[in-house]
């Protein structure tokens, strides 16, 4: 669940219908984002949490269905991580505005993705080639912590304060550290890739 993951459609991807079930589920997840935000800002946190959980379920389902039915498409490969990132970033922004998550953590999460996106675009402008970036273990860990942090905060707003204050603070710090390390890791990978392309010229 990463926005920089390069699409890897199956060999039959060009023959697969664009409007298939996995892509439909991804589209539903995108459409659920404004619903989630409206419920959250209207303080209907229970319903917002339900929509957030359903979005997570559709994320798992669309990937599994695409693999089992060999129906992955280039469009779906772009839409899926984009839908995930839109949900995560918008949730962090709104929850930070509600003072439910630290603003510094939201800044770290957003800054990481901005740096990765700008770096990716810069490399393309410099080399006229697309860098294939696969999510690393640290990137997957960062995404997991983002989702865990958001889930914990939403549960707390629903009256389920788990973990307690100290545990939640530690989770925020851990999420921030892993997110920052993930961003630095992508920068290093990008610089190494550019160096290899430069030496090959």
Residue ranges of the domains in the chain? 13-200
* Ramachandran bin of 128, using left for φ above 0, alpha for ψ from -120 to 50, beta for the remaining angles: left
The fraction of the chain above a pLDDT of 90, given in percent, is 38
Q: Tens digit of pLDDT for each residue in 58-110? A: 877 766 776 676 766 666 666 777 888 899 999 999 999 999 999 999 999 99
pLDDT value, residue 24: 81
| Fold for the domain defined by 13-200 | 1.20.120
Q: Tens digit of pLDDT for each residue in 151-196? A: 999 999 988 877 777 889 999 999 999 999 999 998 898 888 888 8
| Angle ∠(149,6,54) on CA atoms, nearest 5 | 40
Contact 79, 27 (CB under 8 A): yes
Alpha-carbon span 3 to 79, nearest angstrom: 9
């Amino acid at each position: 669940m990463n926005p920089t993951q390069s699409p890897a459609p199956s060999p039959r991807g060009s023959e697969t219908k664009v409007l298939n079930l996995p892509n439909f589920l991804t589209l539903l997840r995108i459409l659920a984002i404004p619903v989630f935000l409206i419920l959250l800002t209207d303080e209907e946190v229970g319903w917002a949490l339900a929509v957030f959980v359903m979005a997570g379920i559709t994320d798992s389902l669309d990937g599994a269905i695409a693999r089992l039915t060999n129906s992955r498409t280039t469009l779906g490969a772009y839409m899926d991580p984009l839908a995930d990132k839109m949900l995560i970033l918008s949730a962090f922004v709104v929850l930070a505005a509600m003072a439910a998550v630290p603003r510094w953590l939201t800044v770290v999460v957003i800054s990481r993705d901005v740096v990765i996106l700008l770096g990716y675009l810069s490399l393309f402008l410099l080399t006229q080639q697309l860098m294939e970036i696969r999510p690393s273990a640290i990137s997957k860990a960062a995404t997991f912590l983002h989702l865990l942090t958001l889930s914990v905060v939403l549960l707390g707003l629903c009256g389920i304060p788990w973990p307690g204050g100290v545990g939640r603070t530690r989770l925020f710090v851990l999420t921030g550290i892993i997110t920052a390390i993930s961003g630095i890791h992508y920068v290093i990978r990008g610089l190494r890739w550019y160096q290899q392309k430069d030496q090959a010229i």
